[in-house]
Chain A
Amino acid sequence: GAGVSQSPRYKVAKRGQDVALRCDPISGHVSLFWYQQALGQGPEFLTYFQNEAQLDKSGLPSDRFFAERPEGSVSTLKIQRTQQEDSAVYLCASSLGTSVNNEQFFGPGTRLTVL
């Protein structure tokens, strides 16, 4: 079956541009996570959805970051007025249940480069 997919795989943006990153989770998965991974570092949590509800957005680094999952499936992470420090790989993961310890299935990530 299909895993988690993300698009685009690579995105180059000029500083100040807005970007939108898409995540298609595994069908039927209730939970959806976004992570940011800088080069040489582990993934860092950004936000968490349970169905369409955004239950935790404590990891979003600034108000330029916004995420949504309006119908409880596909999710979009939007970054407004991108800055060079936003350059990273953005990972999306989904899991079947609502416990944080349920196995998370990760997508391949979107590598964002801000020039």
Chain B
Amino acid sequence: LAKTTQPISMDSYEGQEVNITCSHNNIATNDYITWYQQFPSQGPRFIIQGYKTKVTNEVASLFIPADRKSSTLSLPRVSLSDTAVYYCLVGDGYQTGANNLFFGTGTRLTVIP
């Protein structure tokens, strides 16, 4: 089970780009990297997923170096509504019926006006 390490908290001003880095030194060959976002009193929400290099969608980008031992979630021009906890997870895309998603404590991002 590949576990992850993230900063506990980060602060950013509105309009800035935020980069949250996650370490996953024991990532396995078949593991994907997935990021979820959680607002207070809500369940987590899927943001983005990748395996290698770079993935971009309408809300974020995910950068994964060649060794895949870390990944960086990039949020462009954050707003106050991006204040949330962000979780980095790694898991085997080929296993079924397995619980190998470890959320950890996540990174609490606070966007300041």
Contact of A56 (CB < 8 Å), options: B45, B46, B93, B97: B97
Q: Kindly state whether residue A108 has any CB partner on chain B within 8 Å.
A: yes
Bound Cα distance A93, B97 (Å): 14
Q: Which among B34, B43, B44, B101 has the greatest number of chain A C-beta atoms within 10 A? A: B43
Tell me how many residues of B have a C-beta within 8 Å of chain A. Answer: 26
Within the complex, the shortest CB–CB distance from B84 to chain A, in Å, comes to 13
Bound Cα distance A41, B44 (Å): 12
Pull 28 A–B residue pairs with CB atoms less than 8 Å apart, ordered by A: A4-B43, A35-B103, A40-B105, A42-B85, A42-B104, A43-B103, A44-B103, A48-B98, A55-B97, A56-B97, A56-B99, A58-B99, A59-B99, A93-B43, A99-B93, A99-B95, A99-B96, A100-B100, A100-B101, A101-B32, A101-B49, A101-B91, A103-B46, A103-B49, A104-B46, A105-B46, A109-B41, A109-B43
B residues neighboring A (CB under 8 Å) = 32, 34, 41-46, 49, 85, 87, 91-101, 103-106
